[in-house]
Structure 1
Amino acid sequence: MPIHKLDFEDFEEINYVLIAIHTSLEDYRLAYFINQKLQINLSKSENEIQINVKEGETNFSRFFYQNIEKEISWNLIQNKNEVIQQKKDNIQNLFSNLTLEVLTKVFLLPEYKKVDYFLKIENIEETQNIDKVQTELNKIDTISAVYNVDLNKIKSKNNLIF
């Protein structure tokens, strides 16, 4: 029986930058302002990011744009969502048939719980372009903070594969 060896160099590494965005805007409004500032065309993707956690299953909204000329992909991803859990009350009393609904916050990247959205840019080459993107994002009035995320510090990188 022949032995097949896989080398990590055989796999193409996806080059991407992750920018954290702090804002109180709704996702569609943020996408609109980003489109205006960066001259791109983010649009709502039907392929939301589905995550299964111990609390339940949830979907994170995603806005997507691909520049075919430059081969750059843009993803605006929601980081916070809520899961509704149904809990049956086990105590025998007047309200014993009552089912409780408990809302639990769930995060796409739990290491960054204070971040509202992430802008994932794939195949962007120059650091100068990333700085320009951050400068333009900071010009949006309702964004309070924008910064690069160190990809080596992310423990849940699998949630960014879509």
Structure 2
Amino acid sequence: MAVHKLQIDDFVTIDYELFAIHSSLEDYRLAYFINQNLRLLLEKCPKDVSVKAREGEGCFSRYFYEDQETGAIYNLIKNRSSKAVAQQSAAPLFADTLPEMATGIYLLPELKKVDYILKVENTPSFFAPSVLTAVLLDIKHITTAYTIGHDKLKSKNNLIF
């Protein structure tokens, strides 16, 4: 009797582009400037993206836009979420006086220096990542922006939402 194996990799196709954005702006201000320069209408999603990690569960703000003409879907996601963790004290006498520390939880832990991720799904055939990168770099408040290679990501499953 023959054994048939199905490789899951056969069904996984990469139909999205990822862009790393380094900026010190708040997420709503960055979405505003991206909307102005790319002629998009990114809107805040009511539900944040949540990811469970060793450090805890992180919630990441998400801005969404679906282009009706091309079918492209744009997602702007913050890469870092802070979680307050209470410090443990050896002596119970000082338990109430220790401040809480914030730990960082990342959507893509292998890209800890990236502030935001722009995910473009269902890209049309005429979509040019280099043009989008150039427009992002023209925004005054963005320090740098570049494409992210899919082969370098170990935590691709965090991008499923």
TM (normalized to structure 1)?
0.87
1:72 aligned onto 2:78 = no
**Does the 8 A contact of 1:88 with 1:100 survive in 2?**
no
What is the aligned-residue RMSD (CA, Å)? 2.2
Map Cα deviations across residues 15-46 of structure 1 (whole Å, 9 max, x no partner).
00000001111100000010111111000011
Aligned pairs (5 A) from 1:87-126: 87-93=87-93, 95-98=94-97, 100-126=99-125
**Does the 8 A contact of 2:72 with 2:121 survive in 1?**
yes
Q: Name the SS of the counterpart of 1:105 in structure 2.
A: strand
Number of positions where the alignment pairs a residue of Structure 1 with one of Structure 2: 159
**Does the 8 A contact of 1:56 with 1:85 survive in 2?**
no
4+ residue runs over 6 A deviation:
none
**Does the 8 A contact of 1:89 with 1:97 survive in 2?**
no
Shift of 1:89: 2.0
**Does the 8 A contact of 2:72 with 2:124 survive in 1?**
no
- Gapped regions of structure 1 (runs ≥ 5): none
**Does the 8 A contact of 2:58 with 2:106 survive in 1?**
no
TM (normalized to structure 2)?
0.87
Map Cα deviations across residues 58-89 of structure 1 (whole Å, 9 max, x no partner).
20000000112211100001001211112342
In 2, Cα distance between equivalents of 1:123 and 1:49? 20
Q: Name the SS of the counterpart of 1:47 in structure 2.
A: coil
- Gapped regions of structure 2 (runs ≥ 5): none
Letter paired with 2:104? K
Letter paired with 1:68? Q
